[in-house]
Each structure stands twice: as structure tokens, then as C-alpha cells.
Amino acid sequence: MSKLLIGGEWMDGESTQSLTDKFTGAVYGEMAVASAAQVEAAVTGAVAGQGTSKLAPYDRFKILSTAARILESRSNRLVDLMRVEAGFTRADGENEVRRCVQTLELSAEEAKRLVGEMVPMEAAQGVKNRVGFTIRGPRGVVCAITPFNSPLNTVAHKVGPALAGGNSVVIKPSEFTPLTAVELCKVLIEAGLPANLVALVHGDGSIIGPQLLADQRIAFYAFTGSTRVGREIQRAAGLRGTQLELGSIASTIVCHDADIDLAIPKIVNAGFRKAGQVCTSVQRLYVDRKIADEFIPKFVAAARAMKFGDPGDPSTVIGPMITVQHAQRASSWIAEAVSGGAEILTGGYCERGLLEPTVLYRVTDKMKVVCEEIFAPVVSIAVFDQLDEAIARANAQPFGLSVGVFTSNLHDAFSAARALRFGGIHINEASSARVDVMPFGGVKDSGFGREGPAYAIREMTEERLVTIAY
């Protein structure tokens, strides 16, 4: 059973909620649901913990480094947990653990090198015998609100930099994946983190979220989720800091001079891994008409070869979606597209939470599978005649998180990078290309702020100016 972590103590909630295996539907555990009083106590404990913390930067480095090693040693346990909790295949689970280890390591390093900068005071006319510099200090309490599709690494991307910067953290993980967050908190405490520097509350986001937003003692909100909820967080946060990684309709463009054999494996993986439940999963695939007759059959064959089913089977590549309802909703969008003239080139089969990897063709920009975030293993192909056309279609949406472009032409690569309005533009990679060291975030309705420990830690700390006259 998941527990709450409040004021440095593990405790039961006011009620419990059953947790079910995403493939079998069998109950595997319970989630402790926090009461309003417990949520308030969690923030109170985090405020007190941050106010009394004596951890030096090197202490934070040691704790986060040790946590990375402990987490790495528990890979098999965590992979098994994420299989039932999130429906992850073994490959997806192992990748999640591997990336989380790196995120903790990167956060640890940033704890040691968080510095300000010198200010050239005497560059101003009439100023002499005066020096200036900036330092960075913690904001206070950081609230991390995290999604189900990356229940370990996304939590680490928020918690790691927050702790490295000297903050305390209140974590509200997805109610679909609470136990993975519990394990991460246990690892941090075992690594030496004072337990009152991290709090963990579980429950329905629509109930707990507003309470956390209303609590003015929280200084910063780090959120990954829908644009709708992101807008609510931003309105409620007011002058307090936010880092919002929101919705996305990710595109990937394949030009006529692309290396097809390089592109297809990357795009297939990006479109269907984690059952397409990744904010940067390829949803729109634009293919140059000159190579469409060669590219599309090869892409379809690669998609058809991806085994979907039981995530416990080592040969399975695509496991179940997070709920049956999510799969049924995506299936209904496919049916709607077909009724509007789209063609299923492969896939379309849906049973319980499993949705077969699906490739659609002859789609229009007004179909839901194209103009709304499907968050499912569904890729829609459209052909284009000129690169400018593909860029314009990719840009013509409210979101701007990530995009991929495959080309061997340097001029086209740089031109596309200039013209595409996305937070990340990846040349000869699919839209989901990510290394945890890089800045990650969006523009437009995909939010603002950046993950990546070196970038996040600066947002989670305050810059303070110090001047000295002598």
C-alpha cells in the first residue's frame, strides 16, 4: 500500500483507493488518499523542513549521488512495479530507471556549481570603488505535480533540481502511478535526505490540486500535464513561479533526401513507445511526396512488426494504455477519422486497454487524430510537395513542444530550425528525441520553463544582487 509522507513521517490517508494492473485489471495494491488536513500538514512540514535545513551544496550533491546509486541497484524492482502500475514493457521500464539515475546524477552535479555572476559596476559612469555580484538562493517550497507516463524520471526532473537548489518539495504524483513516487522518496531518504525536506500526498488531482494552489506558502509549481490544467495553475499561482510542460501535437517531417533507413526505426519508436503516451510522440508524420511510395510501405511494415500485448512478455514492444477509457477514446477518434475518409494502413484493433499500433493515411487537418492530442499509439501520415508547406502545417497548431526533421541538406536543416516554432527542433531525429541533460520545454500552448537539471535549478532558485562599496 502507498503511504503519505508528511512532516518526515509515513502515514495512512483518510481513505484508500484500489490500484489495478493495467494489463490484467487485477488489484495489486492500494493508494492512501490524503485528507485536506493532511495536505495542509504536508505543506506545513515542508515549510518547516526548508526553514531549518542545514544542508550545504556538497551535502546535497552527496545525497543525490547516493540516491542515484541506490535507485540503480533496485532497477528490477522498479521495472516490475512500473509494469503493473503504468503498463510499461521491460524495455520502457529499464529506460525509465536508466534515465532517472542520470537525472539524479545531473542534479547532484548542479548542486555543487550553482553560482551567480559578477556585475561590471564600474562600467557605469561615475561609479568607482564598488563591486557587485549575484548569488542564488532557494525559493522555499516547490510543489511538483507529475503525470503517469513517466512516473519516475519526470518526478526526478522536478524533485532533483529543487533539492539541489536548497528547496523542500511537496510531490503530488498521478493517482494512476503513486507507488513509483513512494519508492523514489524512500530512496532519497535512505540516501540521507532529511525526511522533512520532502512530502508526498496522493489523491484526485481535481481535489488536491486546488488546495495546493491556494496555499500561499508554496513558492513554485513544477507541472507536467494538460494545457487546461496548466492554465488553471498559472492563474492561481499569480506572482509565484511556475514551470509548465503542457500539451503537444508532435510532428516529424521526412524530406525527399532523408536517410530512410535511419528515419524509420526512430520514428516508429517515437510514435509507439509507451503506447504513444508521451507528449513528444510522433502524431503527425509529414512525408515528401517524392519518396512517399517508398517510405510509407516500409514504415507500415515496421509498425506492423511491433508486438503489442502483455507487458510482462519480454518480446512485447507496446503494452496497454493507462486505462480502458483512454484506449476506447483513442479508438473512437480512429473510427471518426475513417468515417471522414481516412485510411487505416495498419492497426486499429482495440481490446480493453490495448490499442494496436495504428497508422492512418489520407487524413485532414480537421480530424481529431490530427488536430487534438491523441496520446495513443496512432500516427497520421500526410504528404507534402515543398518543405515550406510541411513547416507551415506543423506550425499551424496551438502547441509547440517538439518536432523532428529528417534531411541531408544543411540549408534545409537550418532553415527549418529557424522557421519551426517549437521548444525543441531535432534534425535527423524524431520529435521525441531527448537527452536528460538538455533544456526541455515548449512554447505557445505547450507551456514555458525548462526541464533539464542545469536549467530547472535556475528557475527553482532566486537571483539576489549583492553590491559592496569600499
- Is there a single domain that holds both residue 230 and residue 355? no
* Residue range(s) defining the domain that contains residue 17: 4-246+446-469
- Residue 27: count of CB within 10 angstroms of its CB: 10
Residue 441 lies in a domain: no
| Bridge partners for 131 per DSSP | 468
> How far, in Å, CA of 282 to CA of 272, rounded?
8
- Is there a single domain that holds both residue 420 and residue 306? yes
- Is there a single domain that holds both residue 331 and residue 418? yes
pLDDT at residue 53 tops 80: yes
pLDDT at residue 76 tops 90: yes
- Is there a single domain that holds both residue 311 and residue 196? no
Residue 118 lies in a domain: yes
pLDDT at residue 440 tops 80: yes
Q: Which is nearest to 23 in space by CA: 330, 316, 346, 378?
A: 316
Q: Please report the sign of the dihedral spanned by the C-alpha atoms of residue 258, residue 263, residue 268, residue 273.
A: negative
- Is there a single domain that holds both residue 366 and residue 300? yes
- What DSSP assignment string belongs to 131-143? EEEEEEEE-SEEE
Q: Which residues contact 57 (CB under 8 A, 6 or more apart)?
A: 111, 112, 114, 166
Give the percent of the chain with pLDDT over 70.
100
Active-site residue list: 245, 279
Count structural domains, the chain. 2
Cell digits of residue 89: 514493457
Q: What is the pLDDT of residue 2?
A: 84
Residue pair 412/391 in contact (Cβ under 8 Å)? The answer is: no
Q: What is the pLDDT of residue 387?
A: 98
Q: What is the pLDDT of residue 1?
A: 73
Residue pair 346/48 in contact (Cβ under 8 Å)? The answer is: no
Place of cell 525543441: 424
Residue pair 342/363 in contact (Cβ under 8 Å)? The answer is: yes
Residue 161 lies in a domain: yes
- Is there a single domain that holds both residue 431 and residue 463? no
Q: What is the pLDDT of residue 425?
A: 98
- Is there a single domain that holds both residue 125 and residue 225? yes
Amino acid identity, position 42: A
> How far, in Å, CA of 422 to CA of 298, rounded?
28
Q: Which is nearest to 252 in space by CA: 403, 359, 401, 363?
A: 403
Give the percent of the chain with pLDDT over 90.
100
Mind listing the pLDDT tens digit for each residue in 357-391? Answer: 999 999 999 999 999 999 999 999 999 999 999 99
Residue 100 lies in a domain: yes
Residue 80 lies in a domain: yes
- Is there a single domain that holds both residue 388 and residue 277? yes
pTM for this model (two decimals): 0.95
Residue 201 lies in a domain: yes
| CATH code of the domain containing 227 | 3.40.605.10
| CATH code of the domain containing 371 | 3.40.309.10
Cell digits of residue 335: 473510427
End-to-end CA distance of the chain: give it in Å, rounded. 61
- Is there a single domain that holds both residue 67 and residue 204? yes
Residue 152 lies in a domain: yes
Q: Which residues contact 146 (CB under 8 A, 6 or more apart)?
A: 154, 155, 158, 171, 172, 173, 174, 181, 224
> How far, in Å, CA of 295 to CA of 372, rounded?
25
Residue 33 lies in a domain: yes
Q: What is the pLDDT of residue 401?
A: 98
* Arithmetic mean of pLDDT, 95-105: 98
> How far, in Å, CA of 81 to CA of 71, rounded?
13
Amino acid identity, position 41: A
Q: What is the pLDDT of residue 360?
A: 98
* Arithmetic mean of pLDDT, 322-326: 97
The percent of the chain in helix, strand and coil, each rounded to the nearest 5, is 45, 25, 35
Q: Which is nearest to 83 in space by CA: 146, 159, 152?
A: 152
Give burial (CB, 10 Å; 0-12/13-18/19+) of 314. exposed
- What DSSP assignment string belongs to 171-231? EE--TTSHHHHHHHHHHHHHTT--GGGEEE--S-HHHHHHHHHH-TT--EEEEES-HHHHH
How many residues are there in the chain? 470
Q: How confident is the model at residue 288 (pLDDT cuts 50, 70, 90)?
A: very high
- Is there a single domain that holds both residue 126 and residue 216? yes
Mind listing the pLDDT tens digit for each residue in 223-264? Answer: 999 999 999 999 999 999 999 999 999 999 999 999 999 999
- Is there a single domain that holds both residue 110 and residue 66? yes
> How far, in Å, CA of 133 to CA of 121, rounded?
9
- Is there a single domain that holds both residue 332 and residue 202? no
